[in-house]
Amino acid sequence: MAQVLEFKLPDLGEGLTEAEIVRWLVQVGDVVAIDQPVVEVETAKAMVEVPCPYGGVVTARFGEEGAELPVGAPLLTVAVGASAADTPGPGEVPARDGRQDPPASVNGNSRPAAADAPGGAAEGSGNVLVGYGTGTAPARRRRVRPAAPAMPASSAPPARPSPVPPAPAPTVAAVPGQDASRGEGPVPVISPLVRRLAREHGLDLRELHGSGPDGLILRADVEYALRAAAAQGRTAQAQAVVAAAPAVPEPQPAVPAPTVAPGGTRVPLKGVRGAVADKLSRSRREIPDATCWVDADATELMRARAAMNASGGPKISLLALLARICTAALARFPELNSTVDMAAREVVRLDHVHLGFAAQTERGLVVPVVRDAHARDAEGLTAEMARLTEAARTGTLTPAQLTGGTFTLNNYGVFGVDGSTPIINHPEAAMLGVGRIVPKPWVHEGELAVRQVVQLSLTFDHRVCDGGTAGGFLRYVADCVEQPAVLLRSL
């Protein structure tokens, strides 16, 4: 008999807590294999295809296309060990296996019925992130849930904090029969981020009852446990204050916020737009930024690029040349390739240059990151930037390709503007802006001439350096633009 397993939206990493369903890749009644993509979702970082860790027949889907689901919410159910003919239709309610669990083994765990199917076809992989393929799936184990102890009639159930988390509420107190299975070895959690979150707040993971498959502890479990602990502390303190304080009149309800004028349209801040809003707001709040700028004669740089492309081989992009100039300048002024750790009150200078470059797409502004840009030449930078730009346009950039930058290059000249004072991409320390390159009157070798002029601007975190360092960086970049031969000293 088939066993119905529920697949929940996994933690996709990088601190993401929700995702929007873009397109379902399977229908109810379809047969899916282990790690087959079943839904395409859009996070604040990128478009991601989510694979299902179970093989079987899809019996139900949760959420329509366009719906936003939190991490830990059910995505679909799969009848493991059943054929398509044995499953209910789309209008029927799938019946779960009503058999009692087999007796627990010595360590308090037992194998599910699906794991005993011939050939192991009913086993799940446990891998829920794109790119994590599996070979032979390990035998899955399921803990035995003991019956909850009866609650005295005089005691009331503890108040549940609001809002209600999407994932099933974890039990903070130790569960009988669970210590035997968790007494040795690491506690299974869905990602290192969850383990670090618990460690930073002094939460013992062995006291949590995970809501994921086989008791896997999710991010929502840890967050709910922290909220529950905080709520219990506030409740006890409030009861003591109320007992000692005299009665006071109830406060008047707050005046509601004014509504928008008739005809106004509200656009939800979610997905990429919401992520950009959050990050830029944080940058503006936390970083004391300053901006300096300079005009530069880019005529010789344009000639050098034309000569490179005329010699044959792959074409070199102007953005790649500017990126190569940035990496050379950061080698001379490493203060700008850093980040600020306010908790430790330290400036962390970084050894590698992971160069982000702004790219405008139909989904909004994204900043792909070129890893180890300092180790690439102009040809390598051109190829990598072209690859990432194409992925940005098609919406296939992964979260890893959009994070981890140490410095950003922003070519806003493509919009036909000369200058800008951009907001730093938190937690970086600086951003170089490049305006349009246009013919302008310019004094060249003592005579007035028409030259290709560009405005360069540098926005920097004033905590990592003073104006002298920022000015030196920008002047070096301008010198390389005006006289590309200056780069020969560092090649």
Residues assigned a catalytic role: 462
Q: From CA 256, how far away is CA 156, in angstroms rounded?
A: 34
Q: What angle do CA 412, 293, 339 make, to 5 degrees?
A: 80
Single-letter amino acid, residue 350: L
- Decide: 479 and 488 in contact? Cβ < 8 Å: no
Tell me if the bond preceding 163 is cis, omega within 30° of 0: yes
- Decide: 450 and 441 in contact? Cβ < 8 Å: yes
- Tokens for 186, please give them: 């690491």
Classify 425 as helix, strand or coil: coil
16: number of CA atoms within 13 Å, CB side? 30
Classify 226 as helix, strand or coil: helix
Number of Cβ within 10 Å of residue 328's Cβ equals 18
- Decide: 248 and 241 in contact? Cβ < 8 Å: no
Q: With residue 80 as reference, give the H or E element that holds it.
A: strand 74-80
Tell me if the bond preceding 427 is cis, omega within 30° of 0: yes
Q: Can you point out the beta strands (E) in 122-233?
A: 142-143
